[in-house]
Amino acid sequence: MVLTLSNREQFREAKSRLIALGIDHQVVGTDPIVFQINTEFSVYRPDDLAEKISDLGQVLAHAEKSPLLDKIQPGHEVVVEGNAFSPIRIKNFAKSIWVAGPCSLDEHNDIFETAAFLKKIGVQILRGGAIKPRTSPHEFQGVGREGYQVLQKAAHANGLACISEALSEDDVSDAVKYLDIIQVGARNMQNFSLLKKLGRSRKPILLKRAPGATLREWALAAEYLLSEGNDKVILCERGVRGLERELRYTLDLAGASFMQHRYGLPVMIDPSHATGLKQILESCTAGAIAMGFAGVMLETHPDPIHAKSDALQALSPQSLAKMAERLMR
Amino acid sequence: MVLTLSNREQFREAKSRLIALGIDHQVVGTDPIVFQINTEFSVYRPDDLAEKISDLGQVLAHAEKSPLLDKIQPGHEVVVEGNAFSPIRIKNFAKSIWVAGPCSLDEHNDIFETAAFLKKIGVQILRGGAIKPRTSPHEFQGVGREGYQVLQKAAHANGLACISEALSEDDVSDAVKYLDIIQVGARNMQNFSLLKKLGRSRKPILLKRAPGATLREWALAAEYLLSEGNDKVILCERGVRGLERELRYTLDLAGASFMQHRYGLPVMIDPSHATGLKQILESCTAGAIAMGFAGVMLETHPDPIHAKSDALQALSPQSLAKMAERLMR
Amino acid sequence: MVLTLSNREQFREAKSRLIALGIDHQVVGTDPIVFQINTEFSVYRPDDLAEKISDLGQVLAHAEKSPLLDKIQPGHEVVVEGNAFSPIRIKNFAKSIWVAGPCSLDEHNDIFETAAFLKKIGVQILRGGAIKPRTSPHEFQGVGREGYQVLQKAAHANGLACISEALSEDDVSDAVKYLDIIQVGARNMQNFSLLKKLGRSRKPILLKRAPGATLREWALAAEYLLSEGNDKVILCERGVRGLERELRYTLDLAGASFMQHRYGLPVMIDPSHATGLKQILESCTAGAIAMGFAGVMLETHPDPIHAKSDALQALSPQSLAKMAERLMR
Amino acid sequence: MVLTLSNREQFREAKSRLIALGIDHQVVGTDPIVFQINTEFSVYRPDDLAEKISDLGQVLAHAEKSPLLDKIQPGHEVVVEGNAFSPIRIKNFAKSIWVAGPCSLDEHNDIFETAAFLKKIGVQILRGGAIKPRTSPHEFQGVGREGYQVLQKAAHANGLACISEALSEDDVSDAVKYLDIIQVGARNMQNFSLLKKLGRSRKPILLKRAPGATLREWALAAEYLLSEGNDKVILCERGVRGLERELRYTLDLAGASFMQHRYGLPVMIDPSHATGLKQILESCTAGAIAMGFAGVMLETHPDPIHAKSDALQALSPQSLAKMAERLMR
């Protein structure tokens, strides 16, 4: 963005205002005074920013990269609805929604029992992997699409909504049929064919951030969903790749907070996958709630020794219950 | 660490216990059963971990890299004392201490007035840069060591403790004389000559994490201070380098939480430097407090347009006061 | 891996051998002497490594994560064959194959003319995007699958093989029909449904590394292709995410070299996407060739001002010709 | 930088020229046509770039951050001179200079013998750590400053120049006295007190890049040396932190190449520290030489089992000799 002052006398005012707005800028011309403004380092939408400084002179802005996302209002609410449960309103800076369940469905977790337990402790959405994206082909690949139906039954029988991942375009029709929220996994964040197909559904979509994606790339993946007409988009931070050696990923809470402030979409946090370490889960969950995130997503397994994936990071139901008691208000 | 089971029958018990402890492991031998255990992906000190599994068989551990740090107890308290203020007890999982003040001392901030204001709103430690480490030699380099004395006067006159950075070994004697806490900046985290000299003082040291340092490297920098006899060490996370493009750094709250749990040293969070964006500071500060960090460190400047460094991220005193009112309990 | 010496006297020999092999290790037991060996920091396959030290005592190894990949021999050759061109033998530490062409097919590049030109200067494989994975839905998405056929004609008419990307599972049958090598793009490296489908074809696959993927994750994505029976796998490094600010990505030449040495699959380098800067392309290409990579992949466009994607990094045919003349031997 | 066209008709010409120059830009105004130009994503110095487009209209540029560095000419040569050896001309895109020697001086490496051997195989500069910056205080800290003198004797007796690291400001006077090139280690890249003191000397300085430093920060650290009057600055890439798990660091050859092209200072490559893996050293060295780097820096130790640091990555003299024979021309 380029701002050319109408009037030299406004230099001080312009400078003060840019600093007060926290906008990175350089003076590139002196007669007239011209500011080059780095709009990307800002929580303001380009239009809003232009408006805030338009009285100072001429504002030139470049074409917006995410025009649909830039129309989303702060406080945008994604409502999850169904016959089996009360509507769940997912938005930032409100009471955080709890999502919990096993990483994968398997014969060792009685998902009905888990659902009943989670309902009792205040969880509103049941998660459970049916088709699992696994780093190695030799690892357990999930029970398959039929798991969607099992998950739905367990959730709905207990007044919960359900969420699971669609891994392939072929999964979409079943996912739309059985799930209340469809998850796009981190590894598929830029699987644009899948995004387009999901954008044409009208189901709420939870879009996880790829571990190597910048915030801008994550936003533009959401723009794909919006561009097909689906604005029921929930973002989910689950850790990026960086300096972590002792943890699985680097949980980017500040980056996720930028997304809350810059774009209006609700943002959830998944500390289980991000850290891989159950001992710091409560701290991270408490942080996420205090930061106003729309929800938290946690892994629990009734019998971790038999969990077919992510056993180390899964909380026992008892630990989850204690954590929920301390943190849920 | 290697665990050789005394008895094949204990396999299930060993497996369960390792999973319950959240310890990454692989089975490498079957007759007898041998587990290779990745102790680094764990919040347990090697000795404690060995003890927890020693009943199962023979435990072999490699030499510890941070023997002094591994003796620090959880809940380790760094007490800052002086005649001018009540003792300040800095520790994790207690009430977070607030540290605030301008990035740099300069003629435009009346540090006495700032100190009086900060005292009123509940801040306990006054920060202010006297000698500034700046990325470019053409940027303001600070007022020099005489700033230490000015800072001390302003702080002590108002019942606050003071903290500032020692940039060079030559700064140490003045820093010891005038400051209540001496900061080691992120760029000097592995300036081992400086660390050794500060380790020989008995002043509380705040050790910032370098933007490219792993958690282990940060811990070992603390080990340098401990190895010279100074255990009054406070760690401070201020952002690492990674995928951030819109923010200055990636604030590694989960990594800092690992440090709280793995080592007993108090950990503070500096969201101002980490994010560079005043609009998300309150969220990040709220998160840090909820996560049980020992303190938060914020930049404020009475007249940001004249601030000689970091103007964009400095909060006005009014904004800081409002934030403090909402978050301090 | 755990090595228990048969005999204390072998300590010095064991230590020397591990150091000579460049293997990271710690002594964890002294009676008998036990070494814990970090096999991941090594270019040796676990079996080979075990063999190299098995005379020293008992070696315990954990289950291999990539058993199929570990069977690939050094010097593994992927042969691209067709009626229209001589067989192309792609392997490491041999003459590097040149792959070039436009980022996207579009009406402004006469792909037939480009193909004829590239043939003349020594290029063996014609690249050209038909279906483009673009960060934003508002950017040019490619001409569609019909582009495969156009590309094939242009290539084959000029004695070149052709490569293009399959973005979706739905693209696979056409890709198999028209393309000589099918590319899996960086964003789809862990689109496991796509990998499995391509693994069931018998076409050579070029598997680009995701910008956030570790080397191990990249290897395991190749394992997916192998696990379905396709071992015609070429890896391609195109830049990872990290500290780069002035460049598009960080080109990980040393990491790609590790892949050459640790696994036998041929590795190609794509410096155009990695750097985004045409001025350093020649240096990077020269480096890749000197390092023994199986091939280099470069973008060229006859009329960059009309290129629908990646105009800035595309070389003009003249620049490419000059570069080829200097570097191809 | 902002470019305002004098004339609408020049749009096509302006667009073409910016693309041909490979300069990232956006159109921000249409009447008149205004381009916002991202000068940081470019190998051109701001002045040169402005000149290349100044005929098109009015060019506004912001103040330069590294004015001294921007005066350095391409092909800038750092000449290392002494009585004991022929002058060594260090510059990019010329014959690469070989620097080799042990990581640390210790009683087990006869540095005189090593020097004689290195001389014979074509190495021109002897490296050897006297004071070692070690991650842990419990690791070998080096033989101390007296090592400088030993190193000098060994080098000069054999017609080699010598290089070693100054870790502290207190080391500078001895370093100036005994060394031909003074190394600033990666951990001290932003130890500004040390940089200023070295800038006031007139010795050639080798400035290693910090593992978390952006290219711009590295350039500005060089600007510190220049700002005190010393332009005998050699940059050295030794690996940054990122996705590497199997290697010690990510060797940023493309980033280092950007430095060669954007700034005129000679750049050397240290693949030993960067990768930590002797098996890929030859590939990386061959790449560095082909890319036109001013020199390569390699670790060798006559008796690696007794090396007090970095044993795993040190080449035996025989391996180094073979590598030199293959790569040195």
Closest CA to A281 of A268, A296, A294, A291: A296
Average pLDDT, chain D: 94
Provide the pLDDT for residue A63. 80
Instruction: Kindly give the pairing relationship between strand C267-269 and strand C233-237.
Output: parallel
Say how far residue B7 (Cα) sits from the centre of its chain: 44
d(CA A304, CA B211): 36
Beta-bridge mates of residue B59: B3
Cβ partners under 8 Å of residue D5, min gap 6 = D11, D14, D32, D33, D34, D35, D56, D57
Across residues B320-326, what is the average pLDDT?
96
Provide the pLDDT for residue D230. 98
Provide the pLDDT for residue D65. 86
d(CA D15, CA D37): 11
Please give the interface size between B and D, counted as residue pairs whose CB atoms are below 8 Å apart.
Answer: 89
Asked whether the predicted pLDDT for residue B304 surpasses 90, the reply is no
Q: Which pLDDT band, with edges at 50, 70 and 90, does A309 fall under?
A: confident
pLDDT along chain C (329 residues), means of 10: 94 93 91 90 91 95 89 96 97 97 86 96 97 91 93 98 96 97 97 97 97 96 98 98 93 98 97 92 98 97 84 91 93
Model confidence pLDDT, tens digit, residues A154-198: 999 999 999 999 999 999 999 999 999 999 999 999 999 999 999
Average pLDDT, chain A: 94
Provide the pLDDT for residue C255. 98
Provide the pLDDT for residue A36. 92
Chain A: closest CA distance from residue D150 (Å): 38
Q: How many residues does chain B have?
A: 329
Which of residues 78 through 137 in chain D touch C, CB cutoff 8 A?
none
**Most distant pair of Cα atoms in chain A: their distance:** 74
Question: Which of the residue ranges A282-291, B290-299, D81-90, D98-107 would you say has the lowest mean pLDDT?
Answer: D98-107
Model confidence pLDDT, tens digit, residues A224-237: 999 999 999 999 99
Model confidence pLDDT, tens digit, residues D193-215: 999 999 999 999 999 999 999 99
Asked whether the predicted pLDDT for residue A329 surpasses 80, the reply is no
Provide the pLDDT for residue C19. 92
Beta-bridge mates of residue D296: D98, D269
C326: left (phi over 0), alpha (psi -120 to 50) or beta: alpha
Across residues B161-186, what is the average pLDDT?
97
Chain A: closest CA distance from residue C171 (Å): 10
For D265, half-sphere exposure in the C-beta direction (CA atoms, 13 angstrom radius) is 30
For residue A22, which residues of chain B lie inside 8 Å, CB to CB? 277-279, 312-313
Amino acid at C20: A
Could you say which of 3.10.20.30, 3.20.20.70, 3.40.640.10, 3.40.5.90 is the CATH number of the domain covering C78-327?
3.20.20.70
D189: left (phi over 0), alpha (psi -120 to 50) or beta: alpha
Classify residue A306 by its DSSP letter: G
Q: Which two tokens stand for residue B296?
A: 């938060």
**Residue pair C187/A190 in contact by the 8 Å Cβ criterion:** yes
Provide the pLDDT for residue A167. 94
Asked whether the predicted pLDDT for residue B310 surpasses 90, the reply is no
Model confidence pLDDT, tens digit, residues D120-179: 999 999 999 999 899 999 998 999 999 999 999 999 999 999 999 999 999 999 999 999
Name the residue facing B28 among C1, C27, C243 (closest C-beta). C1
Say how far residue D54 (Cα) sits from the centre of its chain: 33
State the best of A18, A24, A25, A28 to mutate against chain D, taking most chain D CBs within 10 Å: A28
d(CA C106, CA C311): 12
**Residue written as tokens 């230590």?**
C15
Provide the pLDDT for residue D305. 81
Q: What percent of chain B has pLDDT over 90?
A: 86
Which of residues 229 through 288 in chain C touch D, CB cutoff 8 A?
239-247, 250-255, 257-258, 260-262, 271, 274-280, 283-284, 286-288
Nearest residue of chain B to residue D136 (CA atoms):
B220
Chain D: closest CA distance from residue A78 (Å): 34
Across residues B46-51, what is the average pLDDT?
92
Cβ partners under 8 Å of residue A30, min gap 6 = none
Amino acid at B244: E
D28 interface with A at CB cutoff 8 Å: yes
Asked whether the predicted pLDDT for residue A114 surpasses 90, the reply is yes
Query: What's phi and psi for D77, nearest 5 deg?
Result: -115, 130
State the best of C5, C26, C30 to mutate against chain B, taking most chain B CBs within 10 Å: C26
Q: Which two tokens stand for residue D219?
A: 């350039």
Q: Which pLDDT band, with edges at 50, 70 and 90, does D181 fall under?
A: very high
Cα dihedral C194→C197→C202→C208 (10° resolution): 10
Cβ partners under 8 Å of residue A293, min gap 6 = A92, A96, A256, A260, A267, A268, A269
Q: Which pLDDT band, with edges at 50, 70 and 90, does B306 fall under?
A: confident
DSSP letters spanning C237-248: E--B-SS-SSSS
Provide the pLDDT for residue C197. 97
Across residues B34-38, what is the average pLDDT?
92
Chain C: closest CA distance from residue A288 (Å): 24
Model confidence pLDDT, tens digit, residues A171-181: 999 999 999 99
Cβ of A133 within 8 Å of Cβ of C211? The answer is: no
Average pLDDT, chain B: 94
Asked whether the predicted pLDDT for residue D260 surpasses 90, the reply is yes
Provide the pLDDT for residue D321. 96
Cβ of C67 within 8 Å of Cβ of A138? The answer is: yes
Helices C253-262 and C281-290, interaxial angle, to 10°? 20
Burial class (CB in 10 A: 0-12, 13-18, 19+), C251: buried
Provide the pLDDT for residue B189. 97
Across residues D20-38, what is the average pLDDT?
91
d(CA C75, CA A153): 53
Provide the pLDDT for residue B14. 95
Say how far residue B193 (Cα) sits from the centre of its chain: 20
Cis geometry, peptide bond prior to residue A67 (ω within 30 degrees of 0): no
Query: What's phi and psi for D31, nearest 5 deg?
Result: -145, 85
Model confidence pLDDT, tens digit, residues B227-274: 999 999 999 999 999 999 999 999 999 999 999 999 999 999 999 999
Beta-bridge mates of residue C57: C5
Provide the pLDDT for residue C80. 98
Question: Which of the residue ranges B264-278, D60-74, D112-126 would you say has the lowest mean pLDDT?
Answer: D60-74
Asked whether the predicted pLDDT for residue B109 surpasses 80, the reply is no
Q: Please, which contacts does A70-73 make with residues 24 or more away whose CB atoms are closer than 8 Å?
A: A70/A45, A70/A46, A70/A263, A72/A226, A72/A231, A72/A263, A72/A264, A72/A265, A73/A264
Model confidence pLDDT, tens digit, residues C144-156: 999 999 999 999 9
Cβ of D212 within 8 Å of Cβ of B210? The answer is: yes
Cβ partners under 8 Å of residue B117, min gap 6 = B317, B321
Helices A281-290 and B253-262, interaxial angle, to 10°? 140
Chain C: closest CA distance from residue B29 (Å): 5
Nearest residue of chain A to residue D63 (CA atoms):
A28
